[in-house]
Structure 1
């Protein structure tokens, strides 16, 4: 997921009072704030995710951030939606690439998944884990995650339908859900396994075998 990689070089703490003034407009300021918010949420978790911290790391005044995002909850939801949107757009682009066969599109999604999750600057895993934990206690985040999960599952289900055209629609949805659940499992496993994780290239190849079996097996 080279196009979607978010660098963590700037994840170090900054003093809130040191935020300098910067000029900007809505078209540039909001993406900059959300980019910073993504890094803060991934690095500090929900407990450390404050408007003051995001404003300081973005190099703007707290009042400026609050002008665009009136509350912490609005900023939090916008941050989760932003990262989800990036990956949904990228996966949809891969899944609908008419220059490659459906099976190759599914493999391309897997390749980008491994590239992101094994990148030293990976923030996807920590971000996703924080979101899932938060969804257990915050209804609005839970509803947001249900919607996002449905969008991802639809991508996988549609690819299964294109790969295995003889399958009934409900079976495609079932298998798409199985692949998506495995995709979610990779986020957790590759984050927590550390030295117990298999060699990345071999693990990716084995995962392709699993996804291919799920998508191509007869009904």
Structure 2
């Protein structure tokens, strides 16, 4: 399961945890959100209810509703926090001091680990399905893609400074599409559809570097 780092300022309206009560509140919020993420990954959005999350978290339904009065608010908060943790991992690699090609390779390997992990893959597919029906999930997905494609665009610009902004965006989209497009094949377990991890990482890297440098 993706670890969550709770944004205290967002959830609590404060930049400091000044009192034991605030620290207790943040700890409970984090536990609820981590449980919500677990339920979403395991059971999907169709089975996601406040009552179900409360039972899994070991808290009274009324306690959970004190923090998250609606299913939508809990889903939105959990999805935004989880997406943020994915993008922060990628951005940390992208902004390191390693050569640009090595950074690209490291991000590709990170994304491939996630799409090949059943829990991560299920979360991403469920979130995409939810975005087809719920506006708040669609907004979160659009913002995630904006950040993710922007990161790839910056890396492509480093590798190939002669490309204009439109070219960088298009190539970033193609790289992202080949990575995310693997998920349906992996989810249904099509025999022989996907090679071993090392061969897959090499093939994706070849395509990404070619798209970036051409």
Q: Quote the residue 2:62 is aligned against.
A: 63
Q: Quote the residue 1:16 is aligned against.
A: none
**Structure 2 length normalisation: TM-score?**
0.85
2:112 maps to 1:114? yes
Distance across 2 between alignment mates of 1:79 and 1:189: 26
Q: 1:151 Cα deviation (Å)?
A: 1.2
User: Which of 189, 204, 209 is equivalent to 1:207?
Assistant: 204
Q: 1:188 Cα deviation (Å)?
A: 2.7
Q: Quote the residue 1:171 is aligned against.
A: 167
Q: Which has the higher helix share?
A: 2
Q: Quote the residue 2:28 is aligned against.
A: 29
**Structure 1 length normalisation: TM-score?**
0.83
The equivalences for 1:123-142 within 5 A come to 123-142=119-138
User: Which of 145, 149, 154 is equivalent to 1:149?
Assistant: 145
Distance across 2 between alignment mates of 1:106 and 1:201: 15
2:79 maps to 1:83? no
Tell me if structure 1 keeps the 8 A contact 2:3–2:85. no
Count of residue pairs the alignment pairs up: 195
Give a deviation string over 1:149-203, Cα, whole Å, max 9, x none: 1111111111111111121122111111111112221233322344322122211
Distance across 1 between alignment mates of 2:195 and 2:203: 10
Q: What secondary structure, in the 3-state scheme, does the structure 2 residue paired with 1:126 have?
A: helix
Q: 1:135 Cα deviation (Å)?
A: 1.3
Tell me if structure 1 keeps the 8 A contact 2:104–2:155. yes
Q: 1:36 Cα deviation (Å)?
A: 1.0
Q: What secondary structure, in the 3-state scheme, does the structure 2 residue paired with 1:175 have?
A: helix
The equivalences for 1:35-74 within 5 A come to 35-74=34-73
The runs of 5 or more residues in structure 1 that have no matched partner are 7-23
Distance across 1 between alignment mates of 2:2 and 2:128: 21
Distance across 2 between alignment mates of 1:153 and 1:185: 15
Q: Quote the residue 2:180 is aligned against.
A: 184
Distance across 2 between alignment mates of 1:207 and 1:160: 15
